[in-house]
Amino acid sequence: MSVSKQYLSIHDHSRELSGLKYIYSVISRRAGGLSIGINLNVNNACNWQCIYCEIPNLTRGSPPPIELDVLENELRLFLHDIIHGDYMERNVAIEDRHLKDIAFSGNGEPTSAAEFPQVILIVKKILQEFDLLHKIKIRLITNGSLMHEASVLKSIEMLEEINGEVWFKVDAATEETIKTVNQVNLKPNQILERLLNTANICPTFVQTCIFMINGKSPDDKDIDAYIELINKAKKIIKGVHLYGLARPSLQPRAGDLGRISEEELKNIAKKLIGLNIPTTVSY
Residue range 74-98, pLDDT digits in tens: 999 999 999 898 888 888 888 777 8
pLDDT digits (tens, 9 = 90+) for 31-67: 567 889 999 999 999 999 999 999 999 999 999 999 9
One-letter amino acid for residue 84 of the chain: H
Minimal CA–CA distance to 141: which of 30, 12, 272, 45?
30
Percentage with pLDDT > 90 across the chain: 81
Q: Which of 15-24, 138-147, 162-171 has the lowest mean pLDDT?
A: 15-24
Contact 78, 25 (CB under 8 A): yes
Q: What is the mean pLDDT of the chain?
A: 91
pTM: 0.89
pLDDT digits (tens, 9 = 90+) for 206-255: 999 999 999 999 999 999 999 999 999 999 999 999 999 988 999 999 99
What is the rounded CA–CA span in Å between residue 152 and residue 198? 10
**The pLDDT of residue 10 is above 60:** no
CB burial class (10 A; 0-12, 13-18, 19+) of residue 238? Answer: middle
- 8-39 b/e (C-beta count within 10 Å ≥ 16 → b): beeeebebeebebebbbbbbbbbbeebbbbbb
What is the structure's pLDDT at 228?
A: 98
**The pLDDT of residue 113 is above 60:** yes
| Parallel, antiparallel or unpaired: strands 23-28 and 33-39 | antiparallel
The model's confidence at residue 73, banded by pLDDT at 50, 70 and 90, is very high
What is the rounded CA–CA span in Å between residue 11 and residue 8? 8
Length of the chain: 283
What is the structure's pLDDT at 17?
A: 55
Is the C-alpha dihedral spanning 167, 230, 172, 29 positive or negative?
negative
